[in-house]
Amino acid sequence: MGSCSPSFLSLFLLLILLSPISSVVALLRAPPRLPSVSAERLIRDLNLFPKQSINIVDDDVRFLDTPKIVERRFKFPNLVDPSGVSAEDLGHHAGYYQIQHSHGARMFYFFFESRNSSKDPVVIWLTGGPGCSSEMALFYENGPFTIANNLSLVPNEYGWDQVSNILYVDQPVGTGFSYSSDRRDIRHNEKGVSDDLYDFLQAFFKEHPELAKNDFFITGESYAGHYIPAFAARVHRGNKEKEGIHVNLKGFAIGNGLTDPAIQYGAYADYALDMGLIKQSEHDRINKVLPLCEAAIKLCGTDGTVSCVAAYLVCNTIFNSIIARAGDVNYYDIRKKCVGSLCYDFSNLEKYLNQKSVRDALGVGNIEFVSCSPTVYQAMLVDWMRNLEVGIPALLEDGIKLLVYAGEYDLICNWLGNSRWVHAMEWSGQKEFISSPEVPFEVDGSEAGLLTSHGPLNFLKVHDAGHMVPMDQPKASLEMLKRWMKGSLSEPAAGTETPGDDGWTCFRMIEMAKVLNSDTNLQPGNRVLSVNPVGAALPDLISPSQSGFVPGRLIADNILLTQEMTHHLNMRHNKGNLILKLDMSKAYDRVN
């Protein structure tokens, strides 16, 4: 294949594009009769003309003159919530922003304020597909709630809103609840996608200026391995060129993503062989297509069109041939069988979000929610085989950090392919990264993964997880996010572990008067702790200025109070410690 001229290869790929899919599959000398399930999946995966239309609605003049369409604080119906807190107290928002440089696009989002502190980082989550809604992650991975079988919502103790102010955005336009009044807003490449996201982010921070100075992180998974690097580069460029509100971009994280197709498709057969999905002879036969796949990707480049679709068809014969031989394996988690069109039963998501009570609460009108849009998927086919790694080194050189993590049992965006492109990436710290030792990533004293890191670059292979790490390992993924945002994945974030003899310097002493004056929050070190359970009783025990105890109270009362408060806080915030200073000299003076 190396002797093929570009013109000959272009003609060859064009013939492939115009040929029946069966002709491409024949290159692999596949068995004459595929299992019916695999054959149906093959047809579905390569279907270029899905029947379902994109979310296109009639022009609505009420929406065209203002960038802010809807933003409301809301409370989900059917929320299992024994405390009866209000929508205002929850800090949950949903809405639309009109995309400034579009013909009529409105992008839908959920925003959940941090349960910890308003000064926590702002995190945006992007689900892949392309064309799958970020609500899939919200309700099945790392959001504040999960959907029970009776369509009630159950709080998720490992939701990423524990440590961040988090956004879930339906994008590209046409995904989930996002829609447009003009078909020209359908995107086909990362430039259009990233420009829309940048416009969305500018609208969001204009509405929430109090969050604009917070640290900002971009996260997501799967096809977001394309979205995220492009969006990070767009935000960074906007900052450099002072286009709008400065975004305090600190890093971006890609979970089981597709970023560098040439390298990642080359890892498919190797991973399948290592995991026992195929035999050596099948591995060798499948890999005969690899040179043609690599040549097709090279021809596609970063801005090809027809050649990129041809590359998609050629290269996906590798993946589909593995699936044809592996049977009904779940290609997102090879430990499981594939159930349904997405290999998981996510049907409750559409049932829940299409309820009238939920739609009314969100203000989405008559837009029907669909988990994954085939039309958006089809529109982005020309983008699929493009290499998005090329823009990452410049971000690393400017100190913007990257975390690439991958569950070990995912086939479709497997850890092996992700590790290979991360190690192959050329940047100033490449040699040091390659020579860095692989160290355990420990959570609660147990190894949850293997970490390689140097400078701003981290790669984490996550144990006992498939494609959706936050779903399979919720506690480990929350700890991963927390440590990474704090600065070091190899060590627990400050305040999350019990300090040793020399570790107490990360806590600062506090006085009882500060409890009265701060109302809700104390900050020992970087840890924010709620004192509401005892705050109401404090005025009866100590004066606001802490000049002394209230007459009639005993020193013992205050000692018991501090003991009760420290016990409550240390029980509520696992593995934390709180030190309270009781000024006995003032207390003694008052008694005398």
Whole-Å CA distances, 332 to 54, 253, 276, 323, 415: 26, 19, 15, 12, 12
Closest CA to 408 of 448, 454, 437: 448
Q: Would you state the torsion angle of the CA atoms of residues 115, 117, 122, 124, taken in this order, to the nearest 10 degrees?
A: -10
Q: Which three-class secondary structure state does DSSP give residue 257?
A: strand
Strands 122-126 and 165-169: parallel
Closest CA to 528 of 580, 578, 474: 578
Q: Would you state the torsion angle of the CA atoms of residues 431, 437, 438, 444, taken in this order, to the nearest 10 degrees?
A: -130
Identity of residue 363: G
Closest CA to 355 of 107, 159, 154, 147: 147
Buried b (16+ CB within 10 A) or exposed e, 406-434: bbbbbbbbbbbbbbbbbeebebebbeebe
Say how many C-beta atoms besides its own lie within 10 A of residue 547's C-beta. Answer: 12
Closest CA to 207 of 93, 89, 118: 93
Residue 254: alpha-carbon gap to chain centroid: 7
**Residues 102, 194, 222, 453: which is the catalytic one?**
222
**Residues 120, 185, 383, 410: which is the catalytic one?**
410
What six digits make up the tokens of 467?
């494609």
Contact assessment for residue 161 and residue 481, using Cβ atoms and an 8 Å cutoff: no
What six digits make up the tokens of 382?
């020309």
Catalytic site residue 222?
A: yes
The enclosing H or E element of 477 equals helix 474-486
Say how many C-beta atoms besides its own lie within 10 A of residue 556's C-beta. Answer: 8
How far is 3 from 313, CA to CA, in rounded Å?
22
**Residues 92, 93, 236, 467: which is the catalytic one?**
467
Identity of residue 543: S
Give 415-452 as a 3 state SS string.
HHHHHHHHHHCCCCCHHHHHHCCCEEEEECCEEEEEEE
Evaluated on CA atoms 454, 457, 388, 311, the torsion sign reads positive
Give 54-86 as a 3 state SS string.
CCECCCCHHHHCCCEEEEEECCCCCECCCCCCC
The DSSP annotation for 173-231 comes to TTSTT-EESSGGG---SHHHHHHHHHHHHHHHHHH-GGGTTS-EEEEEEETHHHHHHHH
The residues carrying an active-site annotation are 222, 410, 467
